[in-house]
A = this chain, B = another copy of it.
């Protein structure tokens, strides 16, 4: 996800003493719980979509407030460096797209966002947050969602344990909901996420322009949790097997589109604007879809990317980075990638068109449009 900011190496020491950094959890602000969707749509220039969402605010606002209350609340009775590290991440306002998928998918089946639905929605966000806490250690990430990462504040060890903690909390929420098949599919999903991350780690720095590897990694790393989120809501919503599979596929398509757009954002800003935050994926040796397209169209780029990554001074030279970025952008890879994202979104819209036109369907369609058109 496009949340971390830099890849500069820092040591594993926490910035502040973990015991003094404890602050009371902020109470959920009603003004911040719904506007994420609105903001995404508005920033993307989708004023009509943003306006529709504002109309839905009253209807969805209650669900989102309940969700935020659950996420912001204490996850359990433990109060230590692991729970603080996880709360540090959970309490910064994310887009909450995965929990929205659970809630809206359940509402497609005319199920209210009761405790069971909220439990699964929170679980989806927790699994996402758990992988971020581990990924930040893997990637030595320094900032996320505009603030220092948990590993910078509390140390790498706390970030690892915080991730473990959230994984267990997520599974416990699904387990207490008493849906064995959803617990089984969530375990499969987490497994897919771990192995996709491992494959990406193995491939790091290779810049092999393989679309098969890319699709397999993104399916596991991103799309499968969206798939599960839609499936979870649909199951609780009592939808038919066929409808549930259709919505799971909607989730897959949304997830693929989301990641493709995410990839383009890495190239969206130059070093002059973003400083060291620019070209993070590239500096981490990750092969994104725009880079695959660029390497296919400009075959010498693969060698150049590999060579530049193995030359530490290269990545610190602003002019060279600017030139490298210009060469990549010259292949039109960003537009090709955005088009691929739109193709996934189109397939997802078609799936929705088989469902009755309800506020939940409109909200899902808006979520999809926002995810594809987003610029942050």
Chain A interface (Cβ within 8 Å of chain B)? Answer: 18-19, 76, 78, 80-83, 134, 137-138, 156-158, 160-161, 163-165, 167-169, 171-172, 175, 180, 183-184, 187-188, 190-191, 194-195, 197-199, 201-202
Inter-chain contact A191/B175, CB cutoff 8 Å: no
Could you say which of B78, B160, B168, B191 contacts A165, with CB atoms under 8 Å apart? Answer: B191
Cα separation A82 to B83 with both chains bound (whole Å): 25
Chain B contacts for A161, CB-based, 8 A: 134, 138, 194, 197-198, 201
The docked-state distance in angstroms from the alpha carbon of A163 to that of B183 is: 19
- Residue A183 contacts which of B157, B164, B175 (CB distance < 8 angstroms)? B175
The 6 lowest CB-CB distance pairs between A and B, nearest first, are: A82-B198, A80-B198, A138-B157, A78-B195, A164-B194, A168-B191
User: Bound complex: CA of A137 vs CA of B198, how far in Å?
Assistant: 16
Whether B175 lies near A187 (C-beta < 8 A) is: yes
The SS class assigned to the A binding surface is: helix
Closest to A169 in B: B191
What is the chain B residue whose CB lies nearest that of A194?
B164
Most B C-beta atoms less than 10 A away, residue of A134, A158, A161: A161
Known: A158-B198, A172-B187, A175-B183. A164 touches B80 (CB 8 A): no
Q: Is there an interface contact between A167 and B167, defined as CB atoms closer than 8 Å? A: yes
- How many angstroms between the C-alpha atoms of A168 and B168 in the bound complex? 10
CB contact under 8 A between A202 and B81, given known A165-B194, A168-B194: yes
The CA-CA distance from A18 to B202 in the complex, in Å, is 8
